[in-house]
Amino acid sequence: MAGVTYDKGAFDRARRDFESLRLGAYVPRLSQLVAVGGVKLTMDCFRKQQDPYGRKWQPLARERSRDKKARLRAIAKGKKVRGQKILIDTSRMRNSTTAIQLGRSGGVAIPTGNAITHQNGAYIAPQSQIGIAYYHRGRAKGEPRLGVKQMRENARGSAGSRRIKGFYNRTIAEGFNIPQRMMLPSAEMGMPATWIKMIGREAKGLFKRWVLKGARQ
């Protein structure tokens, strides 16, 4: 005799699982997965030296002397030479990239102060500023350490780039532009194809795991 058994408990559990999906109970977990995936895609921008839409970052107008010399030495030795290290000279900005989640929303943040400047591009106006360049090792024996206030008073009246004890003046005579080198998608340009694909993959994977989990119960 053939027959079919009916497990009302399993049916009720499956119904509750699908009801929770309909109500969006999976959204916080999905936002977390998307945020983590977004961090990886942002890291890819630094690695590939391009924005989320596949456009190459503009090359550096000026390159650090030590990087230029190292590249020239490598060329002279016939070694394979990499391109410029755009925005990854110290990797501080890249390594600060983090996933964030607030309730049902998730995202990616780059908390370094100059990240927004490169993300949107900027114009730096002409300016003059005083920077501290006080070397304690160069003090004469018994010479007291100067406080910042005293060092600033000593620096007043200096001009150009003349170095004085504890201070130097730096003047930017002409303004300059910092080109836009996007690391994150923009609201104006919409979601990039790589991000759409990542979100779909994470949503599909989460739904599949959710359904299989309910089926095993």
Query: Per-residue DSSP letters for 58-99?
Result: PPPSS--HHHHHHHHHHHHTT-------TT-SS-HHHHT-EE
For residues 187 and 22, is the Cβ–Cβ distance under 8 A? no
Q: Residue length, the chain?
A: 217
In a domain, 138, yes or no: yes
Number of separate domains in the chain: 2
pTM of the model: 0.65
Neighbours of 116 (CB within 10 A): 10
In a domain, 53, yes or no: yes
* pLDDT reported for residue 65: 75
Task: Give yes or no: residues 115 and 168 share one domain.
Answer: no
Task: Give yes or no: residues 118 and 39 share one domain.
Answer: yes
Range of the domain at 209: 8-122+178-216
Task: Give yes or no: residues 168 and 112 share one domain.
Answer: no
* Short-list 68, 94, 92, CA closest to 82: 68
Task: Give yes or no: residues 160 and 183 share one domain.
Answer: no
CA distances from 211 to 16, 49, 181 (A): 11, 39, 41
In the numeric block, the tokens 């991000």 are attached to: 195
In a domain, 58, yes or no: yes
Q: Is the pLDDT of residue 169 over 60?
A: no
In a domain, 142, yes or no: yes
Task: Give yes or no: residues 185 and 155 share one domain.
Answer: no
* pLDDT reported for residue 13: 61
Q: How far apart are CA 91 and CA 113, in angstroms?
A: 14
Task: Give yes or no: residues 149 and 66 share one domain.
Answer: no
For residues 136 and 147, is the Cβ–Cβ distance under 8 A? no
**Residue 52 CB burial class (10 angstroms; 0-12, 13-18, ≥19):** buried
Q: Which residues pair with 99 in a beta bridge?
A: 108
* Short-list 117, 129, 123, 121, CA closest to 176: 123
pLDDT tens readout for residues 8-23: 555 566 566 656 655 5
pLDDT tens readout for residues 18-72: 566 555 667 888 899 999 999 999 999 999 999 999 999 998 877 777 777 877 8
Close Cβ partners of 32 (under 8 Å, ≥ 6 residues apart) = 99, 101, 106
Q: Is the pLDDT of residue 117 over 60?
A: yes
Return the structure tokens found at 207: 């739904």
Task: Give yes or no: residues 20 and 59 share one domain.
Answer: yes
Top mean-pLDDT range of 12-26, 40-54, 74-88, 96-110: 40-54
Task: Give yes or no: residues 138 and 104 share one domain.
Answer: no
* Short-list 55, 126, 48, CA closest to 87: 48
pLDDT band at 105 (very low <50, low <70, confident <90, very high): confident
Q: Is the pLDDT of residue 193 over 60?
A: yes
